[in-house]
Amino acid sequence: MKVSLAKALLNQRCPTCREGKMFKTSSFNLHFMEMNEKCPHCQVMLEPEPGFYQGAMYVGYAFSVAIVVAVSLLVKIVDINSPWISIGIVSVITLLLVPFNFRYSRVLFLYMFGGLQGKART
């Protein structure tokens, strides 16, 4: 039975087989950026072409904007009057979410534009 698309995406699994891990370590590791070159399960290349993930920066930018807007709204709702405290809170939360932003921007970009579905195993 194949894992659902949403569950595979949230668990950072290969878009082809939905079982192999895309990253070598967990998000809480200092080496959170290290990706597997090939899927450990189906051996499909996880980088379709050199420089492929440069486009993921746009997805990461959209995630960052969403995070800043959401946290800014929460700070406004809590009614923090000092602009420096507000900027500090937004900055700290944005920095803490960098590993998740990096990983999910790559995962989402690969799922949307990777074209790995149905490719021969290499």
As a whole number, the mean pLDDT across the chain is 87
In 17-114, alpha helices (H): 56-78, 83-96, 98-113
Under 8 Å between Cβ of 68 and 109: no
Rg (CA), the chain: 17
Report CA 101 to chain centroid distance, whole Å. 5
Percent of residues, the chain, with pLDDT higher than 90: 52
Q: In the predicted model, is pLDDT for residue 41 greater than 50? A: yes
Q: pTM score, two decimals?
A: 0.82
What per-residue confidence (pLDDT) applies to 120? Answer: 43
Q: Would you list the domain boundaries of the chain? A: 5-113
Residue 81 banded pLDDT, cuts 50, 70, 90: confident
What average pLDDT does range 1-29 have in this prediction?
Answer: 87
